[in-house]
Amino acid sequence: MEEGHPQETCLRISQLLSRVGDKWVILVIRALQPEAKRFNALKREIGDISQKMLSATLRNLERDGFVRRTVTPVTPPMVEYALTDLGRELLCPVQALADWTASNADRIEAARAAYDSRGEDGAAATAA
């Protein structure tokens, strides 16, 4: 790891993290992990997602090279989405972060509860 342009590197990392945290990507790549899926199958499986967000998410993931879109020109048209090698590789560090989150969710929640109770407590005694 060279340290020539740390700011730029931070920017890239931040951007990728924003993408990965984009609210639907985790669900989408999780749904694509076992096997390729079609658009509406994906939509049904995820459930709450609107088709606008699903197509936007898939387009972003495809653009970044994490998902491959395959069109079979039959009628009605069939489109399949699958993770690429890059997408599967991305999953490793993301999975590590996911595992860490799952392991420490209670610590985070405890910190939040402590923070919130501190806030409501000594300070705003005049209000409410």
Question: Which spans of this chain sit near DNA (rule: CB under 7 A)?
Answer: 22-24, 38-41, 48-53, 55-56, 58-59, 69, 76-79, 81
Amino acid at 70: T
**Closer of 40 and 89 to DNA (Cβ):** 40
Q: What is the distance between the alpha carbons of residues 50 and 43, in angstroms, rounded to a whole number? A: 8
Q: What is the distance between the alpha carbons of residues 1 and 27, in angstroms, rounded to a whole number? A: 31
Q: Which does 62 bind (CB under 5 to 8 A by kind): a second copy, DNA, none?
A: a second copy
Q: Which does 83 bind (CB under 5 to 8 A by kind): DNA, a second copy, none?
A: none
Q: What angle do CA 62, 48, 42 make, to 5 degrees?
A: 40
Helix (H) or strand (E) holding 78: strand 78-83
**Closer of 17 and 89 to DNA (Cβ):** 17
Q: Which does 117 bind (CB under 5 to 8 A by kind): DNA, a second copy, none?
A: none
Q: Which does 51 bind (CB under 5 to 8 A by kind): DNA, a second copy, none?
A: DNA
**Closest CB 93 distance from DNA, rounded Å:** 21
123: tokens are 């300070």
**Closest CB 105 distance from a second copy, rounded Å:** 6
- Are 41 and 78 contacting, i.e. CB atoms less than 8 angstroms apart? no
